[in-house]
Amino acid sequence: MIVKPRIRGFICTTAHPHGCAAHVNQQIDYVSTSGTATAAAFGNVLVLGCSGGYGLASRIVAGFGCGAKTLGVSFEKAPTENKTASAGWYNNKAFEARASAQGLYAKTLDGDAFSDAMRAQVLDTIKADLGKIDLVVYSLASPVRRHPQTEVLHRSSIKPLGEVLDIKTVHVEKGEVSNVALEPATDEEVADTVKVMGGEDWQYWIEALLAADLLAANAKTVAYTYIGSELTWPIYWEGTLGKAKADLDRASGEIQQKLDSIGGDSRVAVLKAIVSQASAAIPVVPLYAALLFQVMKEQGSHETCIEHIDRLFASQLQPAANMRLDEAGRIRVDDLELAEVVQAEVKRRWPLVSTENLPQLGDLAGFREDFLMIFGFGIEGVDYQADVDPQSIN
């Protein structure tokens, strides 16, 4: 079949097998040739949420920058005869193929990381293949979580708190800037969002690994968060997602107490805004990101997802790194996004931006390109007219 992007709202229901592979290879090439994370920093790395966005970039930097053996967990869809796989499924295959070509251990387990069954499978795999884990990266982003103890299916919401929020946004496909009125969350929606995107599951993972004695001495764990600019706070940091992220901070403190026994370190790392499957779904964020990308590109401080994670590993996660921590003990690598010179310019443009001037003030085109690249489209060197078998990559 000829695979074309089929966009429905903020997701693309197709993924290009060769495009996804080329996208992964580009990131591996970046880390192998220009990356700064140094080899031998970590022996064995577990990445929860390894198939896309920041988790995939972390796996690439761990594997190809630090020479680590990586075990990844993700929840992806395999292809059928006439339907492409999800992008992450192809990404995992591409990662494994490159790792295998270099004699680097890489195994991916596909299934629900929130379930006890997946935890058991991961523990068994570590025992059989790896021994102990030096770094656990927690990079899950999901709209739902079935709680392993109660079997309740929790759904997250992306909503403000308190009152109706009237705020500027953009329709990514049409490029229309308008105001939307977002209904506030109920208490139940807040609690559900915390269950899905908060820190409880991260704690379950670390507790299970510790109980099975599968964490190496001085092991580290890092979970990713976003704080961002005041412009997005009403929908993010001060909304349902922010409550979940505050719970991640709580969990990090409790995990740290448990890791003290092995000299370990638990951190939440604050990352910059990028286009990912998860972030494209958040209202307001695409407009903010379009302005941000334009300003950062103009000022020469824009980083891609892989560049950002390479910097995180090289400057913050390596042993003896001089960590840039905030008052809550979080790692801050969102310093370039939040630089005064960047934020002042984004804030100046925010009230001015309209459908007509968005192409000058913002980089919606770059946002759209990044979005398509997540699904393997628009990658240099890929023949998009060629007939491809969605199952040809196995």
Give buried/exposed letters for 47-74 (b at 16+ CB in 10 A, else e).
bbbbbbbbbbbbbbbbbbbbbbbbbbbb
Q: Is 157 in the site for ligand NAD (CB under 6 A)?
A: no
Q: Residue 40 Cβ, how far from ligand NAD at the closest point, in Å?
A: 26
State the SS3 of the chain.
CCCCCCEECCEECCCCHHHHHHHHHHHHHHHHHCCCCCCCCCCEEEEECCCCHHHHHHHHHHHHHCCCEEEEEECCCCCECCECCCHHHHHHHHHHHHHHHCCCCEEEEECCCCCHHHHHHHHHHHHHHHCCEEEEEECCCCCEEECCCCCCEEECCCCCCCCCEEEEEEECCCCEEEEEEECCCCHHHHHHHHHHHCCHHHHHHHHHHHHCCCEEEEEEEEEEECCCCCCCCCCCCCCHHHHHHHHHHHHHHHHHHHHHHHCCEEEEEECCCCCCCCHHHCCCHHHHHHHHHHHHHHHCCCCCHHHHHHHHHHHHHCCCCCCCECCCCCEECCCCCCCHHHHHHHHHHCCCCCCCCHHHHCCHHHHHHHHHHHCCCCCCCCCCCCCCCCCCCC
Min dist CB 386 to ligand NAD, Å, is 27
x-or-dash pattern for ligand NAD, window 19-58, by CB under 6 A? ------------------------------xxxxxxx---
Tokens of 33: 């040739």
The pair of structure tokens assigned to 239 is: 């909304």
Is 236 designated active site? Answer: yes
Give me the catalytic one of 30, 138, 236, 288: 236
- Residue 333 CB, nearest approach to ligand NAD (Å): 10
Residue with Cβ nearer ligand NAD (55 or 160)? 55
What string marks each residue from 219 to 258 as x (binds ligand NAD by CB under 6 A) or -? -----xxx--------------------------------
x/- binding map, residues 74-113, to ligand NAD, per CB under 6 A?
Answer: xxx-----------x-----------------------xx
Binding mask 186-225 for ligand NAD (x = CB under 6 A): --------------------------------------xx
260-279 binders of ligand NAD (CB under 6 A): 271, 273-274, 276-279
Residue type, 137: V
Smaller CB separation from ligand NAD, 58 or 216 = 58
Q: Is 114 an interacting residue with respect to ligand NAD (CB under 6 A)? A: yes
Does 377 help bind ligand NAD (rule: CB under 6 A)?
Answer: no
Q: With 0-12 CB in 10 A as exposed, 13-18 as middle and 19+ as buried, what is 330?
A: buried
User: Which residue's Cβ lies closest to ligand NAD?
Assistant: 53
* Closest to ligand NAD by CB, 156 or 318: 156
Rule CB under 6 A: is residue 139 a binding residue for ligand NAD? yes
| Least Å from the CB of residue 63 to ligand NAD | 15
Q: Nearer Cβ to ligand NAD, position 114 or 293? A: 114
Nearer to ligand NAD, 216 or 248 (CB): 248
Question: Considering the rule CB under 6 A, would residue 309 count as an interface residue with ligand NAD?
Answer: no
Task: Pick the binder of ligand NAD from 3, 87, 106, 140 (CB under 6 A).
Answer: 140
Quote the least distance from Cβ 114 to ligand NAD, whole Å: 5
Q: Which residue ranges make up the site for ligand NAD (CB under 6 A)?
A: 49-55, 73-76, 88, 112-114, 139-142, 224-226, 271, 273-274, 276-279
Residues annotated catalytic, as ranges: 236
